[in-house]
Structure 1
Amino acid sequence: MNDSYLDEGFLLDKKVGVNQPKRIENAKILIANTAMDTDKVKVFGSRVKVDSTAKIAELELAEKEKMKDKVDKIMKHECNVFINRQLIYNYPEQLFADAGIMAIEHADFEGVERLALVTGGEIVSTFDSPGKVKLGQCDLIEEVMIGEDRLIKFSGVALGEACTVVLRGATQQILDEVERSLHDALCVLSQTVKETRTVLGGGASEMLMANAVQELASKTPGKEAVAIEAFAAALRQLPTIIADNAGYDSAQLVSQLRAAHTQGQLTLGLDMKEGTVGDMRTLGVVESYKAKKQMLTSGAEAAEMILRVDDIINVPQVGDKEMGEGEGKGARCAPVQEWQVFN
């Protein structure tokens, strides 16, 4: 995980074709989603009657000529990099190599969409109007090695702020978990840009809300006060979870935090770097207001749904005639269906 880093550029998980240039400066990129064998005769799936092997050679030559015509149309766009969503095949790849054009095939659809966005180009499928096609541009395209994998790096792209996060991990499971965590963090960041309000982190806001809810419970008569107190206790569990996840003594830290908030020090929270109680405003520990609100709303709705369940009735599945019948046959347990009853 320590080898993960942010790369200033766009990385495409593909390899450069055989005999293709490995490095292109001042690249003009034509991005396409086209079948290079559209006009190719499917010999192996058809019946072709010929009276000599020369006829077969003529068919193959005709196929090559049609593919060459398509390659010539592509070259008229004055590009030095051709990236196709589909296969390019050996013969067109050879023609591109002879012309000094870097050809990249089978680029995944999501990667092609992003590449078109960051390079300022567009995805095309026909090549009859070279003047109307917008080519992507970047300062440098080169093949790089990351670990044991070869990737293609696009540097100096038109969308200057485009970059790639390279995650490294021991197993695929670790990588998947890190990717999910990074995705969640980026989602929170994007929401914070849209909704700029923030709250103090480190359990400070939860403890503040818990004290406010507890004060409301003390003023509420009847059984409703019990439910309100339970909600306050649930809010106090969040600082406990934060301390436990960091490996500290949660009982000691949370009791100190609770005492500090009781004394009016409302900006104090858990400093997990030092394992103490610190001022969250001074430390700059904040959380997205929108994310915090959604978290509390979703948690309250889930708890309400569970509390609405009055009982769970276990009903044996009908149709198992052999269940428990006869001696020596052995007992068999029928599958159980669970029914939830709501008030």
Structure 2
Amino acid sequence: ILDQIAIKVDPTDKAMLKKIATVSLASKLLAEYEQIADLTVNAVLQVAEKTEEGGYKVDIDDIKVEKKPGESLLDTVLIKGIVLDKEVVHPGMPKRIEDAKIALVDSPLEVEKTEFDAKINIENPEQMKSFLDEEEKMLKDMVEKVAGAGANVLLCEKGIDDVAQHYLAKKGILAVRRVKQSDIEKLVKATGAKIVSNLDDLKAGDLGKAALVEERKIGDDKMTFVEGARNPKAVTILVRGGSERLVDEAERSIHDALCVVRDVVRDPRIVGGGGAPEAEIAKQLRGFAQKQEGKEQLAVLAFANGLESVPVALAENAGLDPIDIMVQLRAAHEKGQIWYGVDVFEGKAADLKEKGVLEPHGVKMQVIKSASEAAGMILKIDDVIASAKSKDSPGPPKHDGEGGEEGASEY
């Protein structure tokens, strides 16, 4: 029934997706901030990829939500790139590079220690000097390989030695160390770079591109922004707010909005909100029940009554009379007004599709499936307990003192 009444929409229709996001945010802290709904829609559409079947696939993990207390919620922004909660490693390095060519390295720029214990006997100062010079030469060669590939930005998952930092600064290369693996993977999608494990293999084709890589001070901390890629398939939402708690709440609200928008882009079907689909399904199930024989009819009617608990709960929570509301809803649905639901602001049944209260079809379907499975599971548990009792103690329980120890243990 839900599949039949669902409305097909264009998965790239920003106005429709914004309505879906706004409904998700309506009961939360961000209800008044309209631009947050726009921001979540733009973020999902940016990372959406077309499939061979003609649909879209969206991975929410490609949208990084970075929190930073300070400023206000209005300063929350979408960055078409990645924000790293790291600073540039050396003060002598440039803090801003335009037309960046980015190398992503997951091996350290340090002198490797041997896996076994080794002892070196040095007999004179010249040997010590040549040993240190060789270490420095190895680090300098690493930097030369990075520069030789044409990179002017180095983002490293591991550490960068102080000597290597010095040579990178001399070459004018901006470097960031100890970048999280998850951020490195997002940078691959955002910049088109390839992760290199061995600097000997680094070549110009492995470099990613971005219009700008810049270190900025956000609040009390310095962060590195990688933005302006041509078609980034990973983006960042930088959440700002007056306090830590406010920022945490905003992050949860944005995550919910991203999920519902993603659901509609994946499965472009929607239904009305406010208990309208539940009321319509209940009406059709009652008609179906009349054609059933035996106890199946009672089961179908009970299922229909269960679905109507959604608009009843909405009416009760809004301080309305649930009986009046249900009478209005049933009358409207009998006339074929399938999107009539509970309008909590007007205090009556109304066409919620016209009012822009919309929900993803996939979410509604999952709610009904999950509720049915949970009810079935509880009923099965009850059966197991009842049968266990009937096997162990067919008669009434004995009181203390009757039947000795065996009776006492049974009780």
TM-score normalized by the length of structure 1: 0.78
Contact kept, 8 Å, 2:111 with 2:135, in 1: the verdict is: no
Shift of 1:123: 1.2
Which one-letter code corresponds to 2:96 in the other structure?
R
More moved, 186-195 vs 93-102:
186-195
Cross-structure match for 1:318:
none
**1:30-45, aligned counterparts within 5 Å?**
30-39=103-112
Cα distance change of structure 1 residues 306 and 151 upon mapping to structure 2, 3 Å threshold? same
**Contact kept in structure 2, 1:28 and 1:80, CA below 8 Å:** yes
Residue 280 (structure 1) aligned with residue 352 (structure 2): yes
Say which of 365, 374, 388 aligns to 1:302.
374
Deviates more, 1:94-103 or 1:268-277: 268-277
For 2:321 and 2:111, the matched residues in 1 are separated by: 67
Displacement of 1:163 after TM fit? 3.2
AA in 2 matched with 1:36: L
Q: Which residue of 1 aligns with 2:150?
A: 78
1:249 aligns with 2:324: no
Gap change, CA 1:86 and 1:266, over 3 Å in 2: same
Name the structure 2 match of 1:158. Answer: 230
Map 1:1-343 onto structure 2 (within 5 A). 3=73, 5-10=76-81, 11-19=83-91, 20-39=93-112, 46-52=118-124, 55-128=127-200, 131=203, 133-160=205-232, 162-168=234-240, 170-171=243-244, 175=248, 179=251, 182-242=254-314, 247-249=318-320, 251=322, 253-254=325-326, 256-272=328-344, 276-309=348-381, 310-312=383-385
Provide the identity percentage. 34
Secondary structure at the counterpart of residue 112 of structure 1:
helix
C-alpha displacement of 1:53: 5.3
**What is the letter of the counterpart of residue 8 of structure 1?**
I
Residues 1:164 and 1:270: Cα distance change in structure 2 (over 3 Å) = farther
Specify the alignment match of 1:327 in structure 2.
none
Q: CA deviation at 1:65?
A: 1.2
Q: Secondary structure at the match of 1:51?
A: coil
In structure 2, the CA distance between the partners of 1:284 and 1:296, relative to structure 1 (3 Å rule), is: same
Normalized per residue, the structure richer in helix is 2
Conservation of the 8 A alpha-carbon contact between 1:71 and 1:95: yes
Change (3 A) 1:189 1:109: same
**Mapped partners of 2:79, 2:87: distance in 1:** 20
Paired letter, 1:9: K
Mean CA deviation greater in 96-105 or 160-169: 160-169
CA contact (8 A) 1:199 1:286 kept: yes
Bigger CA drift: 16-25 or 152-161? 152-161
CA gap of 1:253–1:104, structure 2 versus 1, over 3 A, is: farther
Distance change >3 Å, CA 239–CA 16, structure 1 → 2: farther
Counterpart-to-counterpart distance in 1, 2:261 and 2:87: 33
CA distance in 2, matches of 1:250, 1:137: 61
- Per the normalisation by structure 2, the TM-score is 0.66
Could you tell me whether the CA contact under 8 Å between 1:39 and 1:67 is conserved in 2?
no
Aligned residues: 311
The alignment yields a C-alpha RMSD, in angstroms, of 3.1
Alpha-carbon separation, structure 1, partners of 2:296 and 2:268: 35
- Higher relative contact order structure (alpha carbons within 8 Å, sequence separation ≥ 6): 2
Tell whether the 8 Å contact from 2:239 to 2:247 is kept in structure 1 after alignment: no
Residue type at the aligned position of 2:77: L
Q: Which runs of 5+ in 2 are unaligned?
A: 1-28, 31-72, 390-411
Per the alignment, do residues 91 and 279 of structure 1 end up closer, same or farther by CA in structure 2, a change over 3 Å counting?
A: same
What stretches of structure 1 of length at least 5 have no aligned partner?
Answer: 315-343
Q: Distance in 2 between matches of 1:98 and 1:248?
A: 70
Distance 2:247 2:237 in 1: 15
